[in-house]
């Protein structure tokens, strides 16, 4: 028989069936002991617990609360909940494993701990007071071993007298939303949870108080000041010097048509009767136009045909001669300009001329005269007109009082406070004609002095359409109906103690 030579290579290692990391936690709140341990391998293993001077087989199904095996990574973890306080025997071994073939494996000594918290309950209502957001932290629940809790809500603020029954549904640890139907004038409530005991034994109660969030709703106003487009009302004044009579008529007609076409493309057009300062294209050194009469004609027509607040009649002066304008003509042009003293009606004087004719009078728009056959002449006229016309005006004054709410809202929400949530650009609040002090965060709605506002906007009067940018004022506010002095969460989730004294609005997705 051969001699067995091996043996010295065997080392002793902690058995995979040996319970380790044994933890004993006792809660006085519930008079429960939570025993947790783990093994590397639970195959063919049962567990026994020290009890008195002996050992009893661990029966997870007989435990009052969630007990059994749970997933904890590579090891196999177990929890046993026992009523009362479990104290370790003198040897310190509370749990041992019993392997079907290898026998008993005593667990390592247990570590006794006290849970930092047992059952922690936090309740709060959502923005609509229709759901309770419950945050339940449970010292027994772990991984798949979850305790079920019965719950009930009741009127506060005194939480010491909960009802006997629970809601039919149960809740589990974690965050959850529960339906809520209570509504009291005080808006103060209590919530009570009790774990569901599998052995139908004694169970502890845990309560938390919570309040209704302010009953608010939001409204929004997108205010865009009205605008108007000035009509294109124009005079054509011809002052040409051309020896050839046939050519004279041709040039005058073509230039006129260039302007007429460009104006027609820019918008609504009215042309007054044409003025010819040089009949037969022969300029008289003493020529002039009747500026007062032309201005009256313009005013009269605009008064009859346009409701615009702001007007800009156009005078187109055409001269092909590089020579200073005679004093008589300059004087008459000045009379024409002076005939419009009102800032709401400012003439637009356009000159198509050359040389000294352009520089001898302060024209609003100067265009270089060229041969009518030159295609650039027509193009330059079209480009100048398109860049300058039509003219837009935003009808807004910074001291205009603009209603914030509809009359129906004002009537329906009489006496309720309202709060400005957002205004872009900033506004000044008014109650009727009276400005609201900035320190007054939540003025009341009164139909006799309804909420209004003023807003400062950049002036845009007779601005070419190509550079006109209408303003847009966005205002959001909320009106509180009940529980306005209660705490609430804002858009960022921050908690505020009192809606009435806090400038920010309630967390809301609407609008």
Partner 1 sequence: MRALVVLMLLSSVAGAEDLRPETRIQRRFVEKKKKFAVYAGFAYHGRADYYYTPGIDIAVSYFPLESLSIDVRGDCFFSVPTPELKELASRTGYLPDSRPSRAAVQAGVRWSFGYAKLRLTSTRTLHFEPQLFAYLGIHITEGSSLQVAPLADVGIGFLVYATKRVQARIDAGLTIGGEQRTQYVAVVGGLPVLSVGVMF
**Buried b / exposed e across 88-108, counting CB within 10 Å, b at 16+?**
beeeebbbbbbbeeeeebbbb
Strand ranges of the sheet holding 215-223, from the earlier edge strand across to the other edge: 215-223, 473-482, 418-424
- Does position 3 interact with partner 1 (CB under 8 A)? The reply is yes
- Does position 107 interact with partner 1 (CB under 8 A)? The reply is yes
- Kindly tell me which of 104 and 254 has the beta carbon lying closer to partner 1: 104
- Does position 6 interact with partner 1 (CB under 8 A)? The reply is yes
In angstroms, what is the minimal distance from the CB of 109 to partner 1?
Answer: 11
Pairing of strands 215-223, 473-482: antiparallel
Distance CA 225, CA 463 (A): 15
- Does position 7 interact with partner 1 (CB under 8 A)? The reply is yes
Strand ranges of the sheet holding 391-394, from the earlier edge strand across to the other edge: 227-230, 391-394, 463-464
Question: Which of 21, 23, 41, 137 is the binder for partner 1 (CB under 8 A)?
Answer: 41
Contact 134, 208 (CB under 8 A): no
- Does position 508 interact with partner 1 (CB under 8 A)? The reply is no
- Does position 56 interact with partner 1 (CB under 8 A)? The reply is no
Size of the site for partner 1 (CB under 8 A): 27
- Does position 12 interact with partner 1 (CB under 8 A)? The reply is yes
- Kindly tell me which of 4 and 343 has the beta carbon lying closer to partner 1: 4
In angstroms, what is the minimal distance from the CB of 106 to partner 1?
Answer: 5
Site string for partner 1, 322-361 (x = CB under 8 A): ----------------------------------------
Q: Which stretch binds partner 1 (CB under 8 A): 106-114, 167-175, 343-351, 420-428?
A: 106-114
| Residue whose structure tokens are 């783990």 | 38
- Kindly tell me which of 104 and 383 has the beta carbon lying closer to partner 1: 104
Rounded to 10 deg, the angle between the 327-338 and 291-305 helix axes is 30
In angstroms, what is the minimal distance from the CB of 4 to partner 1?
Answer: 5
Question: Which of 88, 106, 326, 403 is the binder for partner 1 (CB under 8 A)?
Answer: 106
In angstroms, what is the minimal distance from the CB of 97 to partner 1?
Answer: 8
Helical residues (DSSP H) of 168-244, grouped into ranges? none
3-state SS of 353-385 is ECCHHHHCCCCCEEEECCCCCCHHHHHHHHHHH
- Residue 155 CB contacts under 8 Å (≥ 6 apart), including other chains: 182, 184, 186, 188, 189, 190
Region 66-105 residues binding partner 1, contact defined as CB under 8 A: 99, 101-105
- Does position 510 interact with partner 1 (CB under 8 A)? The reply is no
Contact 20, 14 (CB under 8 A): yes
Contact 207, 190 (CB under 8 A): yes
In sequence order, the β-bridge partners of residue 479 are 217, 418
Contact 136, 119 (CB under 8 A): yes
Question: Which of 15, 275, 370, 487 is the binder for partner 1 (CB under 8 A)?
Answer: 15
- Does position 38 interact with partner 1 (CB under 8 A)? The reply is no
Rounded to 10 deg, the angle between the 245-266 and 375-388 helix axes is 30
Query: Which helix (H) or strand (E) is 358 found in, with range?
Result: helix 356-359
- Kindly tell me which of 108 and 207 has the beta carbon lying closer to partner 1: 108
In sequence order, the β-bridge partners of residue 154 are 190
Pairing of strands 206-211, 188-195: antiparallel
In angstroms, what is the minimal distance from the CB of 487 to partner 1?
Answer: 55
In angstroms, what is the minimal distance from the CB of 7 to partner 1?
Answer: 3
- Kindly tell me which of 15 and 269 has the beta carbon lying closer to partner 1: 15
User: Which tokens is 311 given?
Assistant: 């007007």
In angstroms, what is the minimal distance from the CB of 142 to partner 1?
Answer: 24
Region 18-37 residues binding partner 1, contact defined as CB under 8 A: 18
Give contact residues for partner 1 (rule: CB under 8 A): 1-7, 9-16, 18, 40-41, 99, 101-108
């Amino acid at each position: 028989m051969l001699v067995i030579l091996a043996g010295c290579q065997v080392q002793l290692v902690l058995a995979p069936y040996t319970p380790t990391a044994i933890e004993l936690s006792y809660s006085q709140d519930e008079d429960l002991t939570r025993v947790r341990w783990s093994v590397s391998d639970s195959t063919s293993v049962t567990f026994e617990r020290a009890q008195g001077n002996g050992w009893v087989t661990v029966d997870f199904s007989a435990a009052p609360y969630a007990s059994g095996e749970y997933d904890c990574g590579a090891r196999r973890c177990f929890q046993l909940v026992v009523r009362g306080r479990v104290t370790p025997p003198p040897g310190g071994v509370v749990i041992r494993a019993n392997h079907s073939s290898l026998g008993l494996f005593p667990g390592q000594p247990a570590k006794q701990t006290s849970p930092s918290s047992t059952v922690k309950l936090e309740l709060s209502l959502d923005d609509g007071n229709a759901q309770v957001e419950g945050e339940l932290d449970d010292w027994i629940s772990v991984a798949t071993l979850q305790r079920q809790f019965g719950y009930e809500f009741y009127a506060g603020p005194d939480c010491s007298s909960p009802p006997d029954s629970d809601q039919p549904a149960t809740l589990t640890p974690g965050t959850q939303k529960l339906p809520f139907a209570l509504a009291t004038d005080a808006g103060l409530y209590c919530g009570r949870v009790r774990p569901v005991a599998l052995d139908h034994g004694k169970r502890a109660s845990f309560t938390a108080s919570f309040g209704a969030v302010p009953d608010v709703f939001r409204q929004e106003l997108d205010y865009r000041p009205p605008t108007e487009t000035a009509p294109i009302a124009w005079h054509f004044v011809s002052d040409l010097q051309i020896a050839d009579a046939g050519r004279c008529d041709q040039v005058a007609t073509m230039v006129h048509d260039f302007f007429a076409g460009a104006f027609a493309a820019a918008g609504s057009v009215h042309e007054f009767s044409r003025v010819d300062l040089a009949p037969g294209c022969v300029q008289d050194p003493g020529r002039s136009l009747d500026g007062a009469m032309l201005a009256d004609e313009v005013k009269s027509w605009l008064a009859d045909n346009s409701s615009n607040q702001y007007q800009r009649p156009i005078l187109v002066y055409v001269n092909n001669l590089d020579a200073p304008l005679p004093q008589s003509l300059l004087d008459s042009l000045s009379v024409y300009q002076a005939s419009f003293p009102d800032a709401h009606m400012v003439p637009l004087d356009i000159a198509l001329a050359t040389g000294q004719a352009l520089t001898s009078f302060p024209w609003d728009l100067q265009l270089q005269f060229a041969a009518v056959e030159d295609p650039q002449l027509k193009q330059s006229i079209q480009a100048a007109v398109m860049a300058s016309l039509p003219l837009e005006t935003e009808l807004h004054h910074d001291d205009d009082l603009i209603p914030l709410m509809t009359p129906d809202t004002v009537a329906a929400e009489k006496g309720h406070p309202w709060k400005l949530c957002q205004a872009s650009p900033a506004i000044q609040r008014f109650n009727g004609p009276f400005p609201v002090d900035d320190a007054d965060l939540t003025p009341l709605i009164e139909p006799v002095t309804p909420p209004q506002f003023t807003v400062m906007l950049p002036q845009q009067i007779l601005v070419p359409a190509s550079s006109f940018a209408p303003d847009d004022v966005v205002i959001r506010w909320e009106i509180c109906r009940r529980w306005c002095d209660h705490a609430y969460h804002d858009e960022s989730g921050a908690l505020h103690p009192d809606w009435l004294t806090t400038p920010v609005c309630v967390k809301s997705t609407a609008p």
